[in-house]
Amino acid sequence: MSTTSDPLVALGALPGVADSVDSVRKAVDRVYGHRIMRRRSNEITSEAALRGARGSAALSGAEWALEEVRRRSDFSGDGEARTVGGALRLTAEAGQLLSIWRQSPLRVLARLHLVAAADSVEAAGRPWLAGEPVEEPLIELPLPDADEVAGRLEGLSRLISAGSSAPALVTAAVVHGELLSLRPFASHNGLVARAAERIVLVGSGLDPKSICPAEAGHAELGRAAYVAALDGYASGTPDGMAAWIAHCGKAVELGVRESTAVCEALQRGAA
């Protein structure tokens, strides 16, 4: 990331980023203006959480049908079941951590990992140490060494705590991309990175009711596109960074489309 006083603002000025920000803002405003939101927003939030969890799990290799996620109550079985369970726990936990995020982002990240991993890894809730294995099979970027991970995590924490006038989409995309590039935990980094993106989008006020599941949008765009866009972020080039932000923006818009469809279905049922 840039070393300027507010690198997020600089990223927001990259070619094409303003268009992505504007498109996301308009899409979010449209779904918040839907007539069904005035009476049944809690139902939309609950459904968005479910769809977001399903999408995040799919990107981590557990591609379950939505109805299977809705039906199941026991997620203690195989690896896929535990991944889906972790994603569901994170969507519930993220809302409880909004007030802490700006003051102590590293504490929030540790909590997210603890919730995602549960008892499945010994290093749950702390960054990995030199020599410890890191499992994130779908991300093939070179893994930074432990010192670089620690330094960049601290830099990200300072950036978040300092606040920024950059658009929420830009901040969310950087948090997501940085965490997935660093993979600071021994496992479940994708789930944690996407939960952190959700926290930024909700806490910033862009999506205060958490009805725009970007995770569902990322899954719809596909793992190949996700990995390719992340490669652009990791390159650190202006074009690569702008492409990653645009990719995250498209994911939010697809999440909006999911919730708009839920609104329309509820409206038809109420007619």
The phi, psi pair for 131, rounded to 5°, reads 95, -15
Per-residue model confidence (pLDDT) at position 73:
86
Identify the CA nearest to 253 among candidates 24, 16, 12, 26.
24
Flag whether 129 is in a domain: no
Per-residue model confidence (pLDDT) at position 11:
95
Number of domains in the chain: 1
Flag whether 166 is in a domain: yes
Per-residue model confidence (pLDDT) at position 2:
41
Q: How far apart are CA 193 and CA 175, in angstroms?
A: 7
Ranges in the chain, pLDDT < 50:
1-3, 271
Q: What is the 3-state secondary structure (H, E, C) of 169-200?
A: HHHHHHHHHHHHHHCCCCCCHHHHHHHHHHHH
Flag whether 12 is in a domain: yes
**CATH code at position 250:** 1.10.3290.10
Per-residue model confidence (pLDDT) at position 76:
82
For residues 230 and 138, the answer to whether their CB atoms sit within 8 Å is no
Flag whether 132 is in a domain: no
Flag whether 182 is in a domain: yes
Identify the CA nearest to 135 among candidates 84, 71, 186.
186
Flag whether 128 is in a domain: no
Q: How far apart are CA 197 and CA 220, in angstroms?
A: 17
Per-residue model confidence (pLDDT) at position 271:
45
Per-residue model confidence (pLDDT) at position 270:
62
The conformational region for residue 14 under phi > 0 = left, psi -120 to 50 = alpha, else beta, is beta
Per-residue CA distances from 71 to 75, 80, 113, 263 (Å): 11, 15, 25, 21
Identify the domain containing residue 239 by its residue range.
Answer: 7-123+138-269
Flag whether 170 is in a domain: yes
Instruction: Compute the half-sphere exposure of residue 246: CA atoms within 13 Å on the CB side of its CA.
Output: 17
Per-residue model confidence (pLDDT) at position 3:
42
Q: How far apart are CA 27 and CA 19, in angstroms?
A: 12
For residues 214 and 24, the answer to whether their CB atoms sit within 8 Å is no
Flag whether 130 is in a domain: no
